[in-house]
Amino acid sequence: MTTYIPSITLPDVIFANPAAAILVPVGLGLGVGYSVGPKRTRQTYLALKQPPFRPPPQVFGPAWTSLYALMGYAAYRAWTTGTASLNPNTLQLTKQGATLYTIQLGLNLIWMPLFFRLKRPVEATAHVTLLTGVTGYLTYVWSQVDTGAAWCLAPYLGWLGFATYLSGATGYLNDWNFADKEQNSTSSNTGSGMDKEYLNKAPEQK
């Protein structure tokens, strides 16, 4: 059971302000996505052998933006409802959930670099499995504070389950090794004369 740990929990002001609660996860998610590189991410995704029901790469950006916004709104709802309660148990659950929320957000932001930049499918699958478990527990905790907040987390939790399937199945189909999906290329803009290309890279759609 996780308790409230102020030192690793987002500041109260973020939870209490609806705009901040929504914009912080959305902004952090977009920042991580752009730091990894949308083109690189798309190329890696298309280069890998994929399991059934994989969505097209253009789905992920809008989907994650919506889920981050819902996640932030859930945090705002749970916090404002819980901190206004006169029940000490409800207040405790609210703050416990705030710590869990911060932990899962941090775990969430690590997954994309782990999978796409570091190309560590084993660790990425274990990581997203842990993230799904933490988010499931967070949903349970905040359901005791505000059912609306829990319902806002439901799509996110479902998507994490799907992401766990995609991560594990993709790793399995590619022998848990993404390194051989790249080869050296002389067409580079880095000035070093060498870059990476993907062996199974799909042609660009015009």
Task: Read off the pLDDT of residues 178-206 as tens digits, 9 standing for 90 and up.
Answer: 876 654 444 444 444 344 544 454 444 44
Q: How many CA atoms lie within 13 A of 153 on its CB side?
A: 28
Residue range 75-127, pLDDT digits in tens: 999 999 999 999 999 999 999 999 999 999 999 999 999 998 888 999 999 99
Q: Which pTM was predicted? A: 0.86
C-alpha 96/C-alpha 1 separation (Å) is: 9
pLDDT, tens digit (0-9, with 9 covering 90-100), for 22-58: 999 999 999 998 888 878 778 888 889 999 999 988 8
pLDDT at 47: 86
Residues with Cβ < 8 Å from 178, sequence gap 6 or more? 44, 48, 119, 121
Between 72 and 206, residue with greater pLDDT = 72
Stretch among 4-13, 128-137, 169-178, 191-200 having the lowest mean pLDDT: 191-200
Query: How confident is the model at residue 206, as a pLDDT?
Result: 42
What distance in Å separates the CA atoms of residue 186 and residue 195, rounded to the nearest whole number? Answer: 6
